[in-house]
Structure formats: C-alpha cells, structure tokens
C-alpha cells in the first residue's frame, strides 16, 4: 500500500469517526473467514458498518477528528475492527448474540456520544444504555402519570358528588 492509498484510508476513517456518534472497537482476530462473513452480515442487516484497518491508520484518523477518544487509543493493539452505528446498543446486542456460538468478537472499547467505555466487561452496560428517545418517553410517561391520577380522581369523585347532590335535591325538607 503506497502513501496515497494510506492517506485515502485515513481520510475515509476520519470522516466516519467524525460522522458517527456510536463507535465500537472490537477484536475479531480468531474468527475464520466464514464466521467473519456471518458477523459482517449480522451487522449489515441492522445498519452497522464494520471496517477492519491497521491500528496506525486508525490512530492517525483519530488525530484528524475533533472528538476526544481518550483511553480508546490505548486499545488499538492487535487486530482491530471498527463498528459504526446510528444506534448505541445494536452493536453490543449483535456481539452478545454472536458470542453464543463463539467467544469472539472481543469488545476493546466503545465511544458512545462522547462517553468512553473500555474493556469487554462493559458489554452488558452498553446493552442496557437507553437511547435519547427512550429517555424522553420515560420522562413524558412520568410527567403524564400525576396528571392522569388527578383527572381520574376528579372523574370518580365527580360521579359521587353528582349522586350526593341529586340525593340532597330529592330529599324533602
């Protein structure tokens, strides 16, 4: 690979690193070609882009972005595959599902909307992360709950109150 080809790869990686909010760094080194192909298909089906690159090229691409990848740079050892996603937890779910058949891919780390997760032990935490829309839905549900309770109480009390007023109006003086 000549200098121009390396430069093009670095630019393309830097663009993807800048464009995506959810980036996973994994190790798929012990997977054979068939398993790697299956993994790529699983990611592709859910809109996750998997790209294998040399660590030095990834490091140079990271330097060209304005994001702070912190300790993730230290995970760039051995074979590295980058996963680019539009959803924070889809890659983690696919990795967990794929591990039912094999022990790989190994999660080196993840960049989730400016938060850094390092280590394979973070996989469960990544799966449990809630998206922005899920959090907004929960907040709306919490805000609606008291209002619904007040309306419900007024409706049930209103029926009782109407019954009392009717009884009192029919009662002879």
DSSP output for the chain: --HHHHHHHHHHHHHHHHH-SEEEEEE-TT--HHHHHHHHHHHHHTT-EEEE--HHHHHHHHHTSSS--GGGGGG--SS-EEEEESSSSHHHHHHHHHTTT-S-PEEEEEEETTEEEESGGGHHHHHHPPPHHHHHHHHHHHHHHHHHHHHHHHHHHHHHHHHHHHHHHHS--
Instruction: Name the token pair of 73.
Output: 């740079």
Query: Tokens 């449990």 sit at which residue?
Result: 128
In sequence order, the β-bridge partners of residue 107 are: 26
Task: Report the pLDDT value the prediction gives residue 162, as an integer from 0 to 100.
Answer: 67
- The pLDDT > 70 percentage for the chain reads 87
**Tokens 């409706």 found at:** 155
Tell me the pLDDT band of 150, cut-offs 50, 70 and 90.
Answer: low
What is the spatial distance between Cα 22 and Cα 43, in angstroms, rounded to a whole number?
A: 14
Rg (CA), the chain: 27
Q: What would the pLDDT profile of 1-25 be if each residue is shown by its tens digit?
A: 788 888 888 899 889 888 888 999 9
Residue % of the chain over a pLDDT of 90:
11
Is-above-0.85 flag for pTM?
no
> Whats the size of the chain, residue-wise?
173
Average pLDDT, the chain: 83
Q: What is the largest CA-CA distance in the chain?
A: 105
Residue 44 pLDDT level (bands cut at 50, 70, 90): very high
What is the pLDDT confidence band of residue 159, given thresholds at 50, 70 and 90? low
Between CA 141 and CA 144 the distance in angstroms is 5
> Per residue in 113-147, pLDDT tens?
888 888 888 888 888 887 777 778 878 877 777 76
Q: For residues 94-112, give the mean pLDDT.
A: 87
Judge whether 84 and 44 are in contact, CB under 8 Å.
no
- pLDDT, average across residues 143-168: 67
């Amino acid at each position: 690979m000549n200098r121009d080809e390396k430069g093009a790869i670095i630019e393309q990686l830097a663009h993807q690193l800048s464009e995506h909010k959810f980036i996973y760094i994994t190790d798929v080194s012990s997977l054979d070609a068939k398993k790697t192909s299956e993994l790529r298909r699983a990611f592709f089906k859910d809109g996750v882009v998997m790209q294998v690159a040399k660590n030095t090229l990834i490091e140079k691409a990271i330097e060209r972005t304005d994001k702070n990848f912190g300790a993730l740079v230290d995970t760039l050892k051995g074979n590295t595959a980058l996963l680019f996603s539009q959803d924070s937890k889809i890659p983690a779910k696919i990795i967990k599902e794929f591990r039912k058949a094999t022990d790989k891919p190994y999660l080196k780390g993840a960049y989730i909307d400016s938060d850094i997760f390092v280590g394979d032990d973070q996989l469960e935490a990544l799966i449990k992360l809630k998206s922005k829309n899920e959090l907004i839905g929960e907040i709306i549900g919490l805000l609606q709950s008291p209002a619904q309770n007040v309306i419900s109480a007024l409706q049930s009390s209103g029926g009782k109150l109407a019954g009392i007023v009717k009884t009192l109006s029919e009662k002879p003086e």
